[in-house]
Structure 1
Amino acid sequence: MSANSTRPGEHGLTAVGLDITRNERRDAPRGRLEVIGTIEHRFDQILSPEALEFVTELHDRFGVRRHELLRRDAEAAKAIDAGYNPRFLPETAQIREDPDWRVAGAAPGLEDRRVEITGPTDRKMTVNALNSGANVWLADHEDALSPTWSNVIGGQVNLYDAIRRDIDFVSDDGKEYRLGQTTPTIVFRPRGWHLCEKHMRYTNPAGLESAVSASLVDFGLYVFHNARELIARGSGPYFYLPKLESRFGARLWDEIFTFTEQALGLPHGTIRATVLIETITAAFEMDEILYELRDHCAGLNAGRWDYLFSIIKNFRDRGQNFVLPDRGQITMTVPFMRAYTELLVRTCHRRGAYAIGGMSAFIPNRRDPDVTQKALTQVADDKRREAHDGFDGTWVAHPDLIGTARAEFDAVLGGRENQLHRLREDVHVDASQLLDLRVPGGRITCAGIQQNVSVALRYIESWLRGAGAAAIDNLMEDAATAEISRSQLWQWVFQGAVTEDGMPIVRERVEWAIQKVCDGLARTTGDRLDDAAEILRTIVLRDEFPPFLTVPAYLDYLESPRQQAAAA
């Protein structure tokens, strides 16, 4: 198959045949997008009439498809809950077995990705990331961002300035942060398909209100304002795509990219995406996801923490064989995680795609040399394994880890920019290996319960105050690790798990642990600890399992447009 060949099966559509030109839609009924959030300093520059018109058109064209995708994902989750095991799909075997097709691959600025730093887009973090010495900065509007209105649009302001090298920051103590000469390539991560943006209101062409897609808002504003500027500066509009469950999510993004390129007058294939394989269902469709995005695809990333969360979430009601031990015992060397990462490298390199490793949670502490040394040792081991497995690059969460990660990849890469030549034909992974969740020596401990409660509670409290990445007990926690913590607690309670001392994990035991952690934390003016505890009790102790903790927390607890306007 060539890069532009027709997709097999009943969904066969080529990009060339899609109705995507603006002229063809000019006389069609149009929807309406209203901003109901407060307009802070320079927000009008990002929320310009032209930019909002573009985001509106994205909703007009793709909003219904998004809802259909979410329904499909929900049905797939119900099937797994009812006993279906994911598998390599027979209906897409033609894609997997065809040896000839390749993805677009690296674009300008993405040739060398050996170390990528991740983080949110507040102004200080933006300057620090761009001065970090990494090859790539993952500018994150997803798991590392608390989606307050100020963070979402303020982050777009910061990215606008950073791309034009017109950004600085002065801290409260007078320290100045300015850009150095060399900065990483920016890859922007919009929020996932499941999230909405409540500070906007969309009315479709039929006059009905529907949820505003956070994905389309984040993507649309970023690409509209920055695509041409990025290209002029020798880079391009590049994206990380989170939380995809299947090839259908990738197909929707590919059609959005194609429309956007035509709408903005960009050559086809200018937009490039790296997909995070962070759901168990996507792990069975890596080839298919690459194929759907092939004209726009740069690679795949092993999103390890969300992957663990996806496994727990999908198999939470499937019995003791699917109950995992303490989070700290689920390392990247346990068999099912090895199968997942090695399959990712093999799949990527067979198709000319980069394979990017995941993020170790350990971070240094400049005030504690022992903690720092432990973090450096752990990160070195992790990155050494990834480099030797054939990954082309990896993630870090702190600038002080870049040198350690780079040294491990330099030792393996030598003078090369990647390891695409390593096809890993020695790797053979079947469905049973991905689904065999046995962890040798794994156990659930009292300390594991306490850690999960502590991490989830403290992270949610931080998130409610607007900080989406939090250093907790010398680990970098984000929404994904908080999801692991709370979903394990729910599963342990409702599967009747027992700790290694023979004590059952019941609601009362977890409730006691939540109260104990609350009582042990220092209270400060304006903290959100009570709200965080209420959220955690709701998502851990009730029969209903929320698919994502960030959805009810965002809709019910994070600022509302009315609260925001009253505070302004």
Structure 2
Amino acid sequence: MDLVTYGSYYDVPEGVDIRGRYDAEFAKILTKDALKFVTDLHREFRNHIKYALERRREAKRRYNEGALPGFDPATRYIREQEWVCAPVPPAAADRKVEITGPVERKMIINALNSGAKVFMADFEDALSPSWENLMRGQVNLKDAVDGTISFHDKVRNRVYKLNDQTAKLFVRPRGWHLPEAHILIDGEPATGCLVDFGLFFYHNHSEFRRTQGAGFGPFFYLPKMEHSREAKIWNNVFEKAEKVAGIERGSIRATVLIETLPAVFQMNEILYELKEHSVGLNCGRWDYIFSYVKTFQAHPDRLLPDRVQVGMTQHFMKSYSDLLIRTCHRRGVHAMGGMSAQIPIKEDPVANELALELVRKDKLREVKAGHDGTWAAHPGLIPACMEVFNNNMGNAPNQIETSKREDAANITEQDLLQIPRGVRTMEGLRLNTRVGIQYVAAWLTGIGSVPLYNLMEDAATAEISRVQNWQWLRYGVELNGDELGVKVSRELFGRVVEEEMARIEKEVGTEKLKRGMYREACKIFTSQCTSPALDDFLTLDAYNYIVLHHPKESSKL
């Protein structure tokens, strides 16, 4: 059934202009009252957001002039005082394994049915933010919260529905920096995260609290923060939402992803600002590696090795994980582990078992370190992850009271900033280029979570590929391995791009290459890798392309 009604328009509050195409299902989400709620949030907090983003730019200027991030002396009292966050709600006490994925209809059903304790429905790194994806995602989540969601897969002739037992739902809105160009408020793009949060909260808070939260919620994940002032904005947003909805203060709960290098020095302060609304922190390790490069983009003494070598055994990564666990448990909330990006390798049982063994080893390290739960990118990983956590935690829902990690109290700024060890190789440069181009190609066509070479890639891993290429090009690094002494130059990179595009064509086929957005993606990715100045986010530049070129996005843009 075609629900598009041409010539129809959304009923909007004064000062609001919707540039996305009209759809009768979207109109049930974009009601006048829901839009007024989002508009009120935007108007009240937009100047606070702009100030926070300007402070990010000031911090970047300092780092580019040689400064290093560190603990803030002005907030030492927060780090040293004994205080705890509000008690964890029973509905969110057991989070041993969490699965993540975009707000696509079939994905939501499979993830909620996966056997994981939590499904993080993603409007951020795993989603390409086209108007269609964002609004369809809101429709899907409302149906999921209502318990009515289903999906008919016509190819397999199979109907997907929710089981009786499902994972708890957490929602991740976009970061503060991303606009929503299809909704203008007072002539400027709306703040993307307030659109994602506001629409979901407005339509679902009552039913969510009844069916999933046991009187609490909704539950959220908050990405990309760099400072506690950004957490304070979120806390104020939550308080306003609770007041408007007439629910108890502290009902909304959120986990903050510690996925930027500056934020690791602000963990106590972030929890302090969200004290009544916090249910923990998460090791967003892929974005954290990306942020390490971005923070030190003007520091040629801090070049990363191949991305496959920057794992949790690197000293700066282990220190980050250990300090996060200690901080969370000291403050009475969950310390969540990182993502396992492996996906099942169905055609090769031996390779599949080796991949599963890597996952088990990673999860064993996390649970023994004291993490209360972990992330997986594919339902096929849930049993292996759950087995490791159950075997090491027994019947306990978490390790908040039993794993205090007092040994991590002495972790220093130097521990958190130690330069990672390893080699830089031609294969590393090639892999970055091949993955980056293919991810951007998928993203431009509306796909934000992409299986490549037996791993699930999202915007975070694509960002590592981009900034590492940029860093190696900027400083003309000498490669190790078979190309010992060869310097990474624009000429070398140009040849690598040509050869990797040829390899991509061989892997996906000439017809798919022509039909897809590979050449456009190659242009965007190459431009960002060779730009004199490092763009803050790959997705900001690519988002402009989506807004201007994505089919059926709008009849008014």
The TM tier, using the shorter chain, reads over 0.9
Partner Cα separation in structure 2 for residue 460 and residue 78 of structure 1: 28
Between the aligned residues of both structures, percent identity stands at 42
Partner Cα separation in structure 2 for residue 560 and residue 260 of structure 1: 35
Q: Name 2:259's counterpart in structure 1.
A: 278
Aligned partners of 1:86 and 1:281 also within 8 Å:
yes
Following TM superposition, by how much is the alpha carbon of 1:495 offset from its aligned partner in structure 2, in angstroms?
A: 1.4
Task: Output the aligned Cα RMSD.
Answer: 1.5
Instruction: Find the partner of 1:214 among 192, 215, 218.
Output: 192
Aligned partner of residue 188 in structure 1, secondary structure: strand
Q: Name 2:434's counterpart in structure 1.
A: 454
Following TM superposition, by how much is the alpha carbon of 1:108 offset from its aligned partner in structure 2, in angstroms?
A: 3.9
1:192-244 deviations in Å (ceiling 9; x for gaps): 001011111110xxxxx223110110000000000111111141211000000
Following TM superposition, by how much is the alpha carbon of 1:41 offset from its aligned partner in structure 2, in angstroms?
A: 4.2
Aligned partners of 1:312 and 1:323 also within 8 Å:
yes
| Worse overlay, 308-317 or 515-524 | 515-524
Find out whether 1:171 has 2:160 as its counterpart.
Answer: no
Q: Tell me: CA distance 1:359–1:490, structure 2 relative to 1, closer, same or farther (3 Å).
A: same
Partner Cα separation in structure 1 for residue 160 and residue 141 of structure 2: 15
Instruction: Find the partner of 1:266 among 230, 239, 247.
Output: 247
Partner Cα separation in structure 1 for residue 392 and residue 250 of structure 2: 31
Partner Cα separation in structure 1 for residue 556 and residue 441 of structure 2: 20
Following TM superposition, by how much is the alpha carbon of 1:118 offset from its aligned partner in structure 2, in angstroms?
A: 0.3
Partner Cα separation in structure 2 for residue 342 and residue 178 of structure 1: 40
Aligned partner of residue 321 in structure 2, secondary structure: helix
Find out whether 1:331 has 2:314 as its counterpart.
Answer: no
Q: Name 1:19's counterpart in structure 2.
A: none
Aligned partner of residue 94 in structure 1, secondary structure: helix
Amino acid at match of 1:225: H
Find out whether 1:223 has 2:206 as its counterpart.
Answer: no
Partner Cα separation in structure 2 for residue 436 and residue 31 of structure 1: 52
Amino acid at match of 1:297: S
Following TM superposition, by how much is the alpha carbon of 1:485 offset from its aligned partner in structure 2, in angstroms?
A: 0.3
Q: Name 1:534's counterpart in structure 2.
A: 523
Instruction: Find the partner of 2:486 among 492, 503, 512.
Output: 503
Unaligned runs of 5+ in 2: 1-12
Aligned partners of 1:115 and 1:134 also within 8 Å:
yes
Aligned partners of 1:36 and 1:561 also within 8 Å:
no
Amino acid at match of 1:416: A
Partner Cα separation in structure 1 for residue 459 and residue 297 of structure 2: 19
1:161-209 deviations in Å (ceiling 9; x for gaps): 0011101111122111111100111000000001011111110xxxxx2
Amino acid at match of 1:185: K
Q: Tell me: CA distance 1:65–1:567, structure 2 relative to 1, closer, same or farther (3 Å).
A: closer
Q: Tell me: CA distance 1:31–1:215, structure 2 relative to 1, closer, same or farther (3 Å).
A: farther
User: Under a length normalisation based on structure 1, what TM-score does the superposition of the two structures give?
Assistant: 0.91
Aligned partners of 2:363 and 2:388 also within 8 Å:
yes
Q: Name 1:316's counterpart in structure 2.
A: 297
Aligned partner of residue 74 in structure 1, secondary structure: helix
Following TM superposition, by how much is the alpha carbon of 1:512 offset from its aligned partner in structure 2, in angstroms?
A: 1.3
Aligned partners of 2:393 and 2:399 also within 8 Å:
yes
| Worse overlay, 268-277 or 210-219 | 210-219
Amino acid at match of 2:210: A
Aligned partners of 1:147 and 1:466 also within 8 Å:
yes
Q: Name 2:286's counterpart in structure 1.
A: 305
Following TM superposition, by how much is the alpha carbon of 1:515 offset from its aligned partner in structure 2, in angstroms?
A: 1.4
Partner Cα separation in structure 1 for residue 551 and residue 148 of structure 2: 33
Partner Cα separation in structure 1 for residue 485 and residue 279 of structure 2: 49
Following TM superposition, by how much is the alpha carbon of 1:438 offset from its aligned partner in structure 2, in angstroms?
A: 3.1
Amino acid at match of 1:92: T
Following TM superposition, by how much is the alpha carbon of 1:271 offset from its aligned partner in structure 2, in angstroms?
A: 0.3
Instruction: Find the partner of 1:135 among 97, 117, 121.
Output: 117
Q: Name 2:36's counterpart in structure 1.
A: 53
Aligned partners of 2:64 and 2:296 also within 8 Å:
yes
Matching of residues 186-225 of structure 1 within 5 Å: 186-203=169-186, 209-225=187-203
Q: Name 1:382's counterpart in structure 2.
A: 362
Aligned partners of 1:37 and 1:561 also within 8 Å:
no
Partner Cα separation in structure 2 for residue 486 and residue 169 of structure 1: 36
Q: Name 2:128's counterpart in structure 1.
A: 146
| Worse overlay, 347-356 or 518-527 | 518-527
Partner Cα separation in structure 2 for residue 297 and residue 446 of structure 1: 43
Find out whether 1:69 has 2:41 as its counterpart.
Answer: no
Aligned partners of 1:105 and 1:299 also within 8 Å:
no
Partner Cα separation in structure 2 for residue 371 and residue 40 of structure 1: 45
Find out whether 1:125 has 2:110 as its counterpart.
Answer: no
Following TM superposition, by how much is the alpha carbon of 1:63 offset from its aligned partner in structure 2, in angstroms?
A: 1.0
Q: Name 1:13's counterpart in structure 2.
A: none
Unaligned runs of 5+ in 1: 1-29, 204-208
Aligned partners of 2:305 and 2:420 also within 8 Å:
no
Q: Tell me: CA distance 1:107–1:33, structure 2 relative to 1, closer, same or farther (3 Å).
A: farther
Matching of residues 409-420 of structure 1 within 5 Å: 409-420=389-400
